[in-house]
Structure 1
Amino acid sequence: MCKHFPLDLITFAETEYPGREISGNPPLCELYCGFKKSEIKSLQETPPCKDCIKREVTEGVLLCPSCNRWYPIIDEIPRMLPDKLRKKNDELRFLEKYKDRIPKKVLESGLPFNLKE
Structure 2
Amino acid sequence: MRYYALDVLACPYCHAFPLKLVVLEERRSPMKYPWPSKPFCDYVCAFRGVEVAKCESCECEECLSREVVSGVLVCPKCGRWFAVVEGVPQLLPDEARDFDAERALLSRFREKLERLDPEVARRVFGEASHVGGTGQAPGRV
TM > 0.5: yes
Q: Does 1:3 align with 2:15?
A: yes
1:41-60 to 2 correspondences below 5 Å: 41-45=53-57, 47-60=58-71
How many residues align? The count is: 112
Residue equivalent to 1:113: 138
Residue equivalent to 1:13: 25
Residue equivalent to 1:104: 122
Conserved in 2, the CA contact under 8 Å of 1:59 and 1:73? yes
Q: What 5-or-longer segments of structure 2 have no aligned partner?
A: 1-12, 114-119, 130-135
Deviation above 3 Å: which 4+ runs of structure 1?
A: 94-99, 105-112
Compute the displacement of 1:106 (Å).
4.0
Q: What is the identity percentage for the equivalent residue pairs of Structure 1 and Structure 2?
A: 29
- Which structure has the highest strand share of the two? 1
Residue equivalent to 1:31: 43
Compute the displacement of 1:103 (Å).
2.6
Pair 113,94 (structure 1): closer, same or farther in 2 beyond 3 Å: farther
CA distance in 1, matches of 2:66, 2:48: 13
- Which structure has the highest helix share of the two? 2
Q: Give me the TM-score of the superposition, normalised by structure 1.
A: 0.80
CA distance in 1, matches of 2:138, 2:62: 34
Compute the displacement of 1:98 (Å).
3.4
Aligned-CA RMSD value: 2.1
Pair 95,74 (structure 1): closer, same or farther in 2 beyond 3 Å: closer
Pair 65,106 (structure 1): closer, same or farther in 2 beyond 3 Å: farther
Conserved in 2, the CA contact under 8 Å of 1:14 and 1:58? yes
CA distance in 1, matches of 2:109, 2:79: 17
Q: What 5-or-longer segments of structure 1 have no aligned partner?
A: none
Residue equivalent to 2:133: none
CA distance in 2, matches of 1:52, 1:107: 29
- What are the superposed Cα offsets for residues 12-64 of structure 1, whole Å, 9 maximum, x if unpaired? 1110023x11122321111000011111112223x211110000011111112
